[in-house]
Structure 1
Amino acid sequence: MRVVSLVPSLTEAIAVGAPGTLVGATDWCSHPAGLDVTRVGGTKNPDVPRVVALAPDLVVANEEENREPDLAALRAAGIEVLVTEVRTLDQAFRELARVLAACGAERPRWLTEAEAAWREVPRPTARLRAAVPIWRRPWMVLGRDTFAGDLLARLGVDNAYADHTERYPRVPIEELTSADRGLDLVVLPDEPYRFTRDDGPEAFPDTPVALVGGRHLTWYGPSLVEAPAALSGALRAAHPRM
């Protein structure tokens, strides 16, 4: 098999779960470290002729991360495109198994370990209401039907914008910091915007802030094995009720 991945999460999953099959990936595919494949541009603007030139048996994409016109162009060139949809943890496990099977790989041990790790997450004794900014200038947060929101809910953190009509709404900082929102916590991942101790927490002086790894919160792949412990640790460090 010759596979091109247009999704960073799936790039890591394929590289680890189906070694030797990956021949191309986006410029944003940063894991595993030292990945030596042809780079084919961004997730939103892949170099379609370069992908076609790699003569892949399969291109792996995602309905949220990639644009339909690019995928249609690949199909028109005679290339098979597998499009995933991941909005919950259960979906992620199913899609990962489907992608790896399409790549001709057996079910990897890390996928079984990831399922076990999330099954063993203790039932939360308390629930916190949180906002999860993913960008600033302008401020944007997680809204409805997101994979990251599902992970946090399993750990006892309810997304304050889970009922919003948009999946990634723009929200004025004045609204985020208003007492009317009733937030117990603000969760700041380090991607897609790179929030750090010096960039982000200062905007929420009256609310506890949890800095979390974006790969643990938003990636579906081998990182799911360690994600429950990593996320729980960051949440507990930020709020005494966790």
Structure 2
Amino acid sequence: MSEFPYKRIVSLVPSLTELLIDLGLKGQLIGRTRFCIHPEDDVEDIEIVGGTKKPDLEKIIELKPDFILANKEENRKEDIEVLQAYTHVQVTDIESVEDALLEISSLGITLGVNNKAQKLVSKATKLLSEIPSERELSVAYFIWKDPWMTVGKDTYIHHVLERYHLKNVYGDQTRYPKTTLKELESKNPDLILLSSEPYPFKEKHIQEIKEACPVAKIELVNGEWFSWYGSRMSKAFNALNTWRSKL
């Protein structure tokens, strides 16, 4: 295993845990969050060290990692600062598809798996080049209810929507703005997407929104298609290419 510069890795980012495994680094992964659920068979025997927002800092330190993978959005600054006193913490910052592809490349170099990383980047890039050229639709993408929450322009989700010719009606705002059905009605999007995560939207929520926007097309969508970066991007873009052509 001498080719790997880091031998004891803890990942606090679900989508990047999957990436590390797909890069052939399962043998180096000694800790993950309980939200790191992919690939299902591979993560089962990797120790859980709490959640993304509430990691078990004592357990992580006891594991003596030599590399911790974190994310600016997923993890709290105060937790990262504690861990930085003990070992190297790489904090990723991913707000766009381009950021995500660059991060795969960067991690590939840092972790000694550059060839595998470049194959993943090439596969995702090829799928992006195959996005159907459909007419632009205006869209609202919901991630939460009570309060209703959507996505702003500085999020990975927003940039995925843009790639698929979907104009975010909340694209003049930042991060994850709160909204109301009344405000949604005034924005009058062509399409309303209800994500499967983090809020588990169901069929019953479609009717509630339909009352505010009776003309809009409303769909339940797999949140992982729009929000998981890393190696899942290829699975997502493949599914999205088919989905977009059928809209």
Report if TM-score (shorter chain) is over 0.5.
yes
Could you tell me which runs of 5 or more consecutive residues in structure 2 were left unpaired when the two chains were aligned: 1-6
Q: CA shift at 1:232, angstroms?
A: 3.7
Please give the alpha-carbon distance, in whole angstroms, between the structure 2 residues aligned to 1:12 and 1:98: 16
SS in 1 for 2:115: coil
Q: Which residue of 1 aligns with 2:4?
A: none
Q: Which residue of 2 aligns with 1:48?
A: 57
Please give the alpha-carbon distance, in whole angstroms, between the structure 2 residues aligned to 1:216 and 1:22: 25
SS in 1 for 2:179: coil
| 8 Å Cα contact 2:139-2:193 kept in structure 1 | yes
| 8 Å Cα contact 1:5-1:22 kept in structure 2 | yes
TM-score by length of structure 2 reads: 0.89
Task: Quickly say closer, same or farther: Cα 1:213–1:101, change in 2 above 3 A.
Answer: same
Q: How do residues 168-207 of structure 1 correspond to structure 2 at under 5 angstroms?
A: 168-176=176-184, 178=185, 180-196=186-202, 198-205=203-210, 206=214, 207=216
Q: How do residues 147-166 of structure 1 correspond to structure 2 at under 5 angstroms?
A: 147-164=156-173, 166=174
Q: Which residue of 2 aligns with 1:10?
A: 16
Q: Note if 1:97 corresponds to 2:105.
A: yes
Q: Note if 1:111 corresponds to 2:121.
A: yes
Q: Which residue of 2 aligns with 1:32?
A: 39
Could you tell me which runs of 5 or more consecutive residues in structure 1 were left unpaired when the two chains were aligned: none
Please give the alpha-carbon distance, in whole angstroms, between the structure 1 residues aligned to 2:241 and 2:178: 27
Q: CA shift at 1:51, angstroms?
A: 0.8
| 8 Å Cα contact 2:138-2:166 kept in structure 1 | yes
- 2:34 is matched by which residue type in structure 1? D
TM-score by length of structure 1 reads: 0.90
Q: CA shift at 1:111, angstroms?
A: 3.0
- 2:128 is matched by which residue type in structure 1? W
Q: Note if 1:73 corresponds to 2:82.
A: yes
Q: Which runs of 4+ in 1 moved over 3 A?
A: 232-237
Q: CA shift at 1:94, angstroms?
A: 0.5
Q: Which residue of 2 aligns with 1:120?
A: 130
Of 199-208 and 125-134, more deviation after overlay is shown by: 199-208
| 8 Å Cα contact 1:190-1:211 kept in structure 2 | yes
Q: Find 1:218's aligned residue among 227, 231, 246.
A: 227
Q: Note if 1:58 corresponds to 2:80.
A: no
| 8 Å Cα contact 1:3-1:22 kept in structure 2 | yes
Please give the alpha-carbon distance, in whole angstroms, between the structure 1 residues aligned to 2:115 and 2:56: 31
Question: How far does the alpha carbon of each residue in 1:181-205 deviate from its partner, in whole angstroms, 9 at most, with x for none?
Answer: 1210001121111123x24212222
Structure with greater proportional helix content: 2
How big is the alpha-carbon RMSD for the aligned residues of Structure 1 and Structure 2?
A: 1.5
Please give the alpha-carbon distance, in whole angstroms, between the structure 2 residues aligned to 1:213 and 1:52: 35
| 8 Å Cα contact 1:18-1:104 kept in structure 2 | no
Identity over aligned pairs, percent: 35
Question: How far does the alpha carbon of each residue in 1:21-66 deviate from its partner, in whole angstroms, 9 at most, with x for none?
Answer: 2111001111011212110111011011111111111000011111
